Structure 1
Amino acid sequence: MTDVLARRSFRNVATPEAVDAVHGQLDDLWEDAPFVPDMDRMTFATAVIEAAANVVQHAEPESADPVELGVDICIRQTSLQAEVSAFGAASPAIDDGDPAMPGEEAESGRGLALIRALVTTVTFTRQDGTNTWVLSREPIGS
């Protein structure tokens, strides 16, 4: 495993303002990783923001406590990775298949398909009341 060259983490109540804060974290992150090509920055950032927005919009609390959004972003010389977590969330209905982009008239359902189109891999785990999506884009710049 190669060394981490830049990292940012965020955790707070899952609100629209939290998504804005994650966007700010991504903007700051690129200053520490100027070697990441613009196309990789744009596609990866779009996937991370989409995943964070999906937590805010769709995660249901498992208890009376609000869902918290956690994002941990890590840059290595040849890869970008983000863990997007919904802490205290109920188990979501997950389609483990490769979802197709819904038709033009559909009002929802584009999120996971868009994320999968923008990154190399997407994995999902659930442990101790936390849903986590791991997004990876590699190799960068190719």
Structure 2
Amino acid sequence: MTDVVARRGFHGPSNDQAIDAIHDELDSLWEDASFVPDMDRMTFATAVIEAAANIVQHALPVAEKPVEIDVDISVRPTRLIARVSAHNAREPFADDMQASMPDSEAESGRGLALIEALVTTVTFERQDGTNTWILTRET
């Protein structure tokens, strides 16, 4: 397996402050991975923020515990990887996992399609009350 050149992460409550903190982590990440082309930085960061924002806006708690968000981002010489997780969250409905673009009149529903357009692969895992989206972008 290829060595990790840089890594950043965030774990905390699923709220608007989490999105700001994840932005800060991404900005810091590029300082240690300056070789990553600007276009790859921009598209990958947009996908990570969109995935995190979807959790903040749409994830519902399993029980009394609030939803927490966890983001682990790593840079390898030719690949960017982010694991974006919602802890203590209900499983998304099957309709929420569809990556089709809604019609032009719709006010929401573009998130997953946008993410898939910006990265090389998107995978989803569910384990022990945690939903995880794994985003990769080949550079």
TM-fit CA distance, 1:9: 1.1
Q: Structure 1 runs of 4+ off > 6 angstroms?
A: none
Distance 1:98 1:58 in 2: 15
Letter in 2 for 1:84: V
Map 1:62-141; keep pairs closer than 5 Å.
62-95=62-95, 99-138=99-138, 140=139
Provide the rounded CA distance (Å) in 2 between the counterparts of 1:41 and 1:95.
Answer: 29
- Give the structure-1-normalised TM-score: 0.94
Q: Relative to structure 1, is the Cα distance of residues 96 and 121 closer, same or farther in structure 2, using a 3 angstrom cutoff? A: farther
How many matched pairs? 139
Which segments of 5 or more consecutive residues in structure 2 lack a partner in the other structure? none
Compared with structure 1, are the counterparts of its residues 130 and 97 closer, same or farther at alpha carbon in structure 2 (3 Å cutoff)? closer
Against the structure 1 CA distance between its residues 95 and 76, is the aligned structure 2 distance closer, same or farther, given a 3 Å change threshold? farther
Deviation at 1:99, TM superposition (A): 2.2
The Cα RMSD (Å) is 1.3
Superposition TM-score, scaled by structure 2 size: 0.96
